[in-house]
Amino acid sequence: MTGPEEVRCTLMRGGTSKGAYFLAGDLPSDPAARDDLLLRVMGSPDPRQIDGLGGGHPLTSKVAVVSGSDDPGADVDYLFLQVAVDRPEVTDRQNCGNILAGVGPFAVERGLVPAGDTETSVRIRMLNTGERAVATFPTPGGRVDHTGTAGISGVPGTAAPVVIEFPQGAGPLLPTGNARDTVAGTEVTCVDNGMPVVLIPAAALGVTGYETPRDLEEDVALADRLREIRLAAGRLMGIGDVEGATVPKLTLLAPPRDGGAVTTRTFIPVRCHTSIGVLGAASVAAGLRVPGGVGEGIARLPGAGERTRVEHPTGFLEVDVRVDPGSDGIPAVVRRTAVVRTARKIFDGTVFPRSAATAPPPAQRPGGHHDSAAR
């Protein structure tokens, strides 16, 4: 570290999220000390995060910790940390595919991975889950170029494309073993293709699925139903007690309106996402292709080999997903998952955290580094 009150930091937009990226060696090795520092860096707990880098929303209060990997199958290790906005809590119980989009460029710019002459692929081990991803992005002349013509919904302007491919995971696509389960009196499909997600027909909860995130968040009766479903689904999916966790995510499904496969509203887990997470979208896209799932009769699936366009409140996210549906007792298996995202460096320099004397201690984190099935 450069000192107790200053830390080297890069602020990046990754996909539709924004976060602070750090080299692991620039942060305290003790998790409690690290979390205390990150709370002060982000300005938590405070609904506005007025005294730190956070933007007053879970999507802008994220952290990536990156280091060289000792795994022969990976170039770098990536630990995602969600910093709570209004409470003193830092958790590693889920992954983030949007922040993942910035990990490769960050690793090259910090000298962890050499750049290729035209493009670079970085093999990433996600420490939250132990799973892998490969991020490929342009590096003309051996330098990261954040500019480009790729656009993604929910982000103004364009930037360089980051193609992220996820190898087939070791866990089952359907954690409960069923295409449908009845949870808290509601038929759902529990799926995990990088993120534990519970798919729920919006109509089953008395909403259309086209409401704004704010309107859904203000629906108290809906919030109570969602909480009941999430707690029960967490146990059913083998995650355990998820009262203090951010997974599983809950995604409401409705027929598409803008030429996509399905319209979604995703809860993370209480706030309604203004778009959709990368890994959440990967799970939704795979879950729609499970025969007998709750997406049947709602989704309009594209043809074989075409990307699945998942509509969300601010546009859409396209996922190239190939699912072997299985048969005769053979479970469904995902053969390929890839997405195109963008990332952009906002600043690189030194961040000066709030004084430790004025910051409340961090809350007990729910679980250790590898305690969760969240992805």
Q: How many domains, the chain?
A: 2
Residue 67 lies in a domain: yes
Q: Look at residue 366 and tell me if it is in a domain.
A: no
- The helix (run of H) or strand (run of E) holding residue 108 is helix 103-109
Q: Do 145 and 289 belong together in one domain?
A: no
Alpha-carbon distances of 330 from 149, 210, 237, 273, 284, rounded to whole Å: 42, 35, 19, 34, 21
- Flag whether 105 is in a domain: yes
Q: Are residues 215 and 155 both part of a single domain?
A: no
In a domain, 373, yes or no: no
What's the longest Cα–Cα distance across the chain? 62
> Has residue 365 been placed in a domain?
no
289 in the same domain as 192: yes
Is the same domain home to 351 and 233?
Answer: no
Domain presence at residue 273: yes
pLDDT of residue 359: 53
Compute the distance between CA of residue 277 and CA of residue 339 in angstroms, rounded to an integer: 11
| Residue 367 domain-assigned (yes or no) | no
Q: Which H or E element spans position 186?
A: strand 186-192
**What six digits make up the tokens of 121?**
């692929």
Residue numbers of the domain that contains 78: 7-167+343-358
> Is the bond leading into 105 cis (omega within 30 degrees of zero)?
no
Query: Could you tell me which residues are beta bridge partners of residue 79?
Result: 65
Q: Which of 141, 138, 143 is nearest to 162 (CA)?
A: 138
Contact residues for 172 (Cβ-Cβ < 8 A; gap 6+): 192, 331
Residues 149 and 253 in one domain: no
287 three-class SS? helix
Let me know whether 13 and 161 are in one domain: yes
- Is 126 found in the same domain as 212? no
The model's pTM is 0.79
- Looking at the structure, tell me whether residues 50 and 137 fall in a common domain: yes
Residue 14: CATH number of its domain: 3.10.310.10
Same domain? For 313 and 350 the reply is no
Q: Length of the chain in residues, anyone?
A: 375
State whether 231 and 109 are in the same domain.
no
Residue 230: which H helix or E strand, with range?
helix 220-236
Q: Is residue 338 a part of any domain in this protein?
A: no
- Whether 19 and 141 map to the same domain: the answer is yes
Phi-psi region of 177 (alpha: psi -120 to 50; beta: other; left: phi over 0): left
pLDDT in tens, the chain (375 residues): 444 589 999 999 999 999 999 999 999 999 999 999 999 999 999 999 999 999 999 999 999 999 999 999 999 999 999 999 999 999 998 899 999 999 999 999 999 999 999 999 999 999 998 989 999 999 999 999 999 999 999 899 999 999 999 987 668 999 999 999 999 999 999 999 989 999 999 999 999 999 999 999 999 999 999 999 999 999 999 999 999 888 999 999 999 999 999 999 999 888 999 999 999 999 999 999 999 999 999 999 998 778 899 999 999 999 999 998 877 677 888 988 999 999 999 999 999 999 986 555 565 544 443 333 333
DSSP one-letter code for 203: G
Pair (185, 144) in one structural domain: no
**Which residues 6+ apart lie within 8 Å of 367 measured at CB?**
91, 92, 93, 245
- pLDDT value at residue 343: 97
Q: Could you count the other beta carbons within 10 Å of the beta carbon of residue 305?
A: 7
